[in-house]
């Protein structure tokens, strides 16, 4: 009976460990991940502007356009202003995204609480399965909301300048963060794989217990203590 219950217990434990790991470790790290990629993008812009500075200086000598900056140099000035203001915009985006995540997650989870009551019946025989899958849906919803909220960190720096006519491009932070998310999901899959391997091992060796001491029957009736002392045999003969 105990061996029959171990398989579903291992599977449920693996799913709960993976879900708990996402909530306990990955979700709190989402702001730091997005912020790190935003800062990295700013550093890349600094390196790019340093390399392009000589060419930008030469572009001022081209006599086209109006003002001190011609048509070719104007784009460089726009990029320069973007590099200067980007740290401020990243910080503002981080603060707003944290507040936005708190508000939208509270709103979504409260609404999901009432929706969950109509999905899972606590008196049903399948309530355990429903509990696992609804938890999985809740975690996926929380992670998706966290990602969308913290995209504001670099979207603020990328898009605010467009409101005043600057032509800026995104730095691919979403793709980079997606690689981190894929690695974390792979780790959660490894936990489930390990639980499945433990279940398979229990099925192959259902009677895997502690070794029992050998008996006379296991040794063909021979005495496990070996032959008796000859002195004892002589005393017995007397």
Give the pLDDT confidence of 83-109 residue by residue, as tens digits: 898 899 899 999 999 999 989 988 888
Q: Which comes out higher in pLDDT, residue 90 or 14?
A: 90
Q: Is residue 186 part of a domain?
A: yes
Contact assessment for residue 101 and residue 161, using Cβ atoms and an 8 Å cutoff:
no
Q: Is the pLDDT of residue 146 over 80?
A: yes
Q: Look at residue 188 and tell me if it is in a domain.
A: yes
Domains of the chain: total: 1
Q: What is the pLDDT of residue 47?
A: 92
Q: Domain range spanning residue 148?
A: 2-205
Q: Each residue of 73-83: pLDDT tens digit?
A: 788 888 888 88
Global pTM exceeds 0.85: no
What pLDDT is attached to residue 16? 79
Please report whether residue 225 resides in a domain.
Answer: no
The Cα 158–Cα 138 span in angstroms is: 31
DSSP one-letter string for 177-228: HHHHHHHHHHHHHHHHHHHHHHHHHHHH-TT--PPPPP-TTTTTT--TT-SP
Residue 23 maps to a domain: yes
Q: Is residue 155 part of a domain?
A: yes
Q: For the residues 1-27, what does the mean pLDDT come to?
A: 77
Kindly report the average pLDDT of the chain as a whole number. 72
């Amino acid at each position: 009976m105990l061996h029959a219950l171990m398989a579903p217990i291992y599977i449920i434990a693996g799913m709960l460990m993976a879900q708990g790991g996402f909530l306990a470790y990955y979700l709190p790290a989402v702001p730091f991940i997005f912020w790190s990629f935003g800062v990295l993008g700013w550093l890349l812009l600094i390196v790019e502007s340093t390399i392009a500075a000589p060419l930008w200086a030469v572009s001022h000598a081209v006599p086209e356009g109006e003002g001190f900056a011609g048509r070719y140099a104007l784009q460089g000035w726009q990029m320069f202003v973007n590099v200067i203001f980007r740290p401020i915009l990243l910080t503002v985006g981080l603060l707003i995204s944290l507040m936005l995540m708190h508000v939208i997650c509270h709103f979504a989870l409260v609404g999901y609480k009432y929706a969950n009551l109509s999905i899972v019946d606590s008196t049903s025989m399948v309530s355990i399965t429903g509990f696992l899958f609804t938890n999985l849906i809740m975690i996926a919803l929380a992670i998706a909301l966290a990602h969308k909220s913290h995209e504001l960190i670099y979207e603020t720096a990328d898009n605010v300048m467009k409101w005043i006519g600057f032509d800026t491009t995104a730095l691919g932070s979403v793709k980079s963060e997606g690689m981190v998310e894929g690695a974390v999901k792979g780790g959660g899959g490894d936990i489930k794989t390990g639980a499945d391997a433990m279940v398979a091992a229990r099925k192959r060796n259902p009677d895997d217990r502690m070794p029992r001491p050998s008996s006379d029957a296991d040794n063909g009736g021979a005495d496990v203590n070996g032959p008796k002392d000859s002195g004892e045999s002589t005393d017995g003969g007397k």
